Amino acid sequence: MSVPFSYYDFIEACAEPGCPVCTLLQRDARRFLDSLLYEYVNSPSTHAAFRASRALCKTHNGQLTQFGEQVLGIAILQAAALDEVLNIIAANPAQPQSGLSRWLSGGSKNGPSVLADRLEPEQPCMVCQSLDEAEKRYLQTINDHLADARFEGAFRSSAGLCLPHFRSALRQLADPAALERLVAIQIGIWQKLKAELDSFIVQHDYRYAGKPMGAERDSWQRAISSLAGK
């Protein structure tokens, strides 16, 4: 079997703190936004997507603020989404209908809630859509290469998958041997983390005050990331 780029990407990501799939997806999100702002700001399909999804989701629209040198592109795309919002408001009066017109239309919904429905995104954030596909590819890479000694060694010494990506892996991995191996490695990683948390908690007892801590020092931070993703 030929080795895809994602094989090496995954091994590299295993050396980073936190879930390797989260690490790769964060990198992909940065690359997606970078390329969007450099190359696709004036593309009609980008504008159509920004209108339909009312800009990006909260996370990714917020992430645009990290691309401060591309303010013009950011402004152009936000203007398209805001123009769409204003068009929808203009076409759907928020004023409650009068009793007579509500009776004539036979509708039970009032103006504001119809307007609220129309303002909902018609399609998901384009970055989220792209990351959903990337996540499937990374999980497929685990499925295909976990029997490889180098790949397995890298994963074993990583922070393991976060709980959301572990759940996705349980649902997606088709090879029973890969699945069994993944679960065994993940249990080992979480047992070690749990032991470090227990040690951290004990050492915070007043009788241990002032004692230096070892690897468990930041276990609470790693646990947050491991349970919720990065």
- Which residue ranges make up the site for Zn ion (CB under 5 A)? 19, 21-22, 57, 60, 125, 127-128, 162, 165, 229
- CA pair distance 148, 158, nearest whole angstrom: 15
Q: Report the nearest approach of Zn ion to the CB of residue 134 (Å).
A: 12
Handedness of CA 39, 40, 43, 45 (dihedral sign): positive
Select 145 or 165, whichever has its Cβ closest to Zn ion.
165
Helices (H) and strands (E) in the chain, counts: 12, 0
Q: Cα 8 to chain center, whole Å? A: 21
Q: Report the nearest approach of Zn ion to the CB of residue 28 (Å).
A: 12
Contacts of the segment 78-87: beta carbons below 8 A, 24+ positions apart: 80/47, 80/50, 80/51, 81/50, 81/51, 81/53, 81/54, 81/55, 83/51, 84/50, 84/51, 84/52, 84/54, 85/54, 85/119
Q: Report the nearest approach of Zn ion to the CB of residue 170 (Å).
A: 13
Q: Cα 35 to chain center, whole Å? A: 18
- The full length of the chain comes to 230
Query: What is the rounded radius of gyration, in angstroms, for the C-alpha atoms of the chain?
Result: 24
Q: Report the nearest approach of Zn ion to the CB of residue 53 (Å).
A: 9
Q: Report the nearest approach of Zn ion to the CB of residue 146 (Å).
A: 16
- 């039970």: which residue's tokens? 108
Select 128 or 179, whichever has its Cβ closest to Zn ion.
128
